[in-house]
Amino acid sequence: MQKKRKVLRAPFIVTVAAAASLAGAVALPGCDPTVQGGSCPEEMPERGSSCDADDLSCDYIDSCDNPIDFRCVDGAWQVEDEMSCNPPPPACPEEMPANGAPCDGGIGTCGYEMITGCGPMPIDAACVLEDDTWRWQVHEIFCNPPPPDQCLTAATANECAGLGPTCQWLVPGCAEGSGTPALPAVGCFPSLPCEADEACPSGTLCQEVVVNPCVASSPDGATCAACGATEHVCVPPSAATTASK
């Protein structure tokens, strides 16, 4: 009597399916068995900024469109692998930024000029890392301006310059017709324009006059083609009265 052969096909299929299932569990793309928790930030983190999932590895694209790898090590983001490139350095904004405003890391320190009671003065704005965010830190300016009438005591341009940025030497400009009059005479005046008579030293009045802007741009006026610009300065009452007629 002939015996039937045992059918092995079904168990064989089950074994192969189980092996394939196990292989798929080990080789799933994007799975990193060293990561215990946490997730990658949507935006590329700053080097050295804090993270809360050690051994977490994240991939990004840098400013040169190159891949860059970050890993969380001892609570801080470190760059594991990056390609070198030479992107243009961040540029300083044209206008002085507000203190505490966000900025691009690596921009460094930018120089600006601020009008103060002592006249125009240089001021620095530095881009620094604060609490994982790059922010502008604008340095304060302190000055103790001399009284405005001190400028009027200078008899020469050199004496005026010696009083510092709070004073300026002005020269009459080219006034036309019955419009704004020219500055009555050369002299040393406060750098800040006056807004009312009360802001002027005793014995003077606030008046809009035409001055020669070329004197300020270069000693000999060679780099300036203009001959007149308006400015509010404190002038003797006689000059102000004549100018207003």
Residue 91 lies in a domain: no
Most confident range (mean pLDDT) of 63-77, 171-185, 205-219 is 63-77
Query: What is the distance between the alpha carbons of residues 146 and 154, in angstroms, rounded to a whole number?
Result: 13
- Going by pLDDT thresholds of 50, 70 and 90, the confidence category of residue 135 is very high
pLDDT tens column, 68-98: 899 999 989 998 877 766 666 778 999 999 9
195 Ramachandran zone, left/alpha/beta (phi>0; psi -120 to 50): alpha
What range defines the domain where residue 123 resides?
A: 98-143
Quote the pTM value.
Answer: 0.39
Strand, helix or coil for residue 52: coil
The pairs formed by 153-162 with CB atoms below 8 angstroms and a separation of 24 or more are 153/188, 154/187, 154/188, 155/188, 157/188, 159/188, 160/188
Percent share of the chain, pLDDT over 90: 13
Report the domain count for the chain.
3
Whether 236 and 171 map to the same domain: the answer is yes
Percent share of the chain, pLDDT over 70: 69
Residue 230 lies in a domain: yes
Of 232, 234, 227, 197, the C-alpha closest to 212 is 227
- Going by pLDDT thresholds of 50, 70 and 90, the confidence category of residue 9 is very low
Residue 90 lies in a domain: no
Beta bridge partners of 76: 50, 73
Whether 240 and 177 map to the same domain: the answer is yes
Whether 122 and 164 map to the same domain: the answer is no
Whether 69 and 127 map to the same domain: the answer is no
Whether 156 and 73 map to the same domain: the answer is no
Whether 182 and 128 map to the same domain: the answer is no
pLDDT tens column, 98-111: 999 999 887 889 99
Q: How many residues does the chain have?
A: 245
Asked if residue 205 lies in contact with residue 181, where contact means CB atoms within 8 angstroms, the answer is: no
